[in-house]
Amino acid sequence: MTDMMKAVRLHEFGGPDVLRYEDAPRPEISADDVLVRVHAASLNPPDLYLRDGYRVLPPEWHPSPRFPLILGTDVSGEISAVGENVTQFKVGDEVYAMVRFPHDLMTGSNAYAEYVRVPTSDLALKPSGVDHIQAAGAPMSLLTAWQFLVDLGHDEPNPFQIFAHAPEPLDGKTVLVNGAGGGVGHLAVQIAKWQGAKVIAVASSKHEALLNDLGADIILDYTKAAAETVAKDVDLVLDAVGGAGMERFLPCIRQHGALFLVNPLGFSGHHEAARRKITVSTTQVRSNGAQLAEAGRLLDNGSVRVVIDSTYPLAQASAAHRRASEGSIQGKIVLDVA
Ligand SMILES: NC(=O)c1ccc[n+]([C@@H]2O[C@H](COP(=O)([O-])OP(=O)(O)OC[C@H]3O[C@@H](n4cnc5c(N)ncnc54)[C@H](OP(=O)(O)O)[C@@H]3O)[C@@H](O)[C@H]2O)c1
């Protein structure tokens, strides 16, 4: 008989209420995988997009997966079994991962569950200085900030542009982070500071105290004044919000500076950027255990902190998704699976 576990599954696309806490078969692993007993799993925007059937995309790109499916990419937990080829990890190791992304973008990576199958290439030892809730909050947001700002870490084709994204040295530069209180934004602020940049953080006022604490040099409340009319001669803008009007940042960037778009869909400023000699670049985050091990050292020694917006028991994943839909997230929303 198949071993069972608790998981949050969906049997149809829709709003937060389609998430059902129920029994599901425990995943089986192959030779290069480990089975992780999940202690915590965090929410990321792709979880909400997939729950909703990627309605934001044109109909021909809508997924048609086999239901039921299990959302979630980011986990922290403990290894409960290893495949026969696995030598670098052992049963009992505490680990964290962003699981099979973007490989399983349209089917779900199965993290909202008591057990998840993780390829060792996606896996790193959990930084011992943080607990499972914080570690689960890190992977996708941390890897996104890392791959945009520090090291791309792979040579896979870029789905958004014909050239590879290339991070730039930030020491002594002025970096503006838009969406600085969010999952990607709050980690990008800290990574840019760690690299020696002066950081302008753009966020609503509710995040001001936090961003001061995280070392932002200047904080601009976009609800009071448009940041791009206040900031001048910025070397790099990292827009961790997306949506309409991303090109408005171009005038506050100096010539030969750069605009990095974490969510590039809808950007229409390529001509103006070329005229102003500004590089516009984006990339899609990819699972990478080696980078999680490297960036994890910053979590371990406290140079980078994962901020938790809220935690919910796994059984209340619907409530967690409702919180995410309200927006104005500060750091990460995490499901407690322990
Ligand atoms: N390229 C990739 O591979 C990749 C990877 C991860 C995420 N993403 C994308 O990046 C975006 C951010 O992801 P996330 O996980 O960081 O989301 P998140 O945690 O929801 O953070 C978004 C933040 O943006 C702020 N915000 C909303 N409207 C704003 C505005 N008009 N101006 C300035 N700030 C605003 C929000 O707070 P306040 O309004 O309170 O300031 C919130 O803190 C999403 O669109 C996601 O899909 C892309």
CA of 178 to the centre of ligand 1 (A): 8
Ligand 1 closest atom vs CA 186: 16
CA of 63 to the centre of ligand 1 (A): 23
φ/ψ of 219, rounded to 5, equals -120, 125
Q: Take residue 223 and report the two structure tokens written for it.
A: 């609800």
Residue whose CA is at the smallest distance from ligand 1 atom 36: 328
Q: Is residue 181 in contact with ligand 1, taking CB distance under 6 Å? A: yes
Q: Take residue 326 and report the two structure tokens written for it.
A: 């309200």
DSSP annotation string for 213-231: HTT-SEEE-TTTS-HHHH-
* 18-109-298-180 Cα dihedral, nearest 10 degrees: -40
Q: Is residue 284 in contact with ligand 1, taking CB distance under 6 Å? A: yes
Closest residue by Cα to residue 287 from 81, 136, 73: 73
Q: Strand 20-25 relative to strand 94-98: parallel, antiparallel, unpaired? A: unpaired
Pocket test for ligand 1, best of 48, 56, 142, 184 (most atoms within 8 A of CB): 184
Tell me the domains of the chain and their CATH numbers.
4-138+306-336 (3.90.180.10), 152-281 (3.40.50.720)
Q: Is residue 242 in contact with ligand 1, taking CB distance under 6 Å? A: yes
Ligand 1 closest atom vs CA 185: 16
Q: Is residue 325 in contact with ligand 1, taking CB distance under 6 Å? A: no
CA of 24 to the centre of ligand 1 (A): 32
In this prediction the pTM is 0.98
Residues contacting residue 334 through CB under 8 Å, at least 6 positions apart: 40, 41, 42, 43, 133, 136, 137, 308, 310, 311, 312
Ligand 1 closest atom vs CA 284: 3
What pLDDT tens digit does each residue of the chain (338 aa) get?
A: 679 999 999 999 999 999 999 999 999 999 999 999 999 999 999 999 999 999 988 888 888 889 999 999 999 999 999 999 999 999 999 999 999 999 999 999 999 999 999 999 999 999 999 999 999 999 999 999 999 999 999 999 999 999 999 999 999 999 999 999 999 999 999 999 999 999 999 999 999 999 999 999 999 999 999 999 999 999 999 999 999 999 999 999 999 999 999 999 999 999 999 999 999 999 999 999 999 999 999 999 999 999 999 999 999 999 999 999 999 999 999 999 98
Using CB atoms within 10 Å of the CB of residue 13, give its burial: 0 to 12 exposed, 13 to 18 middle, 19+ buried: middle
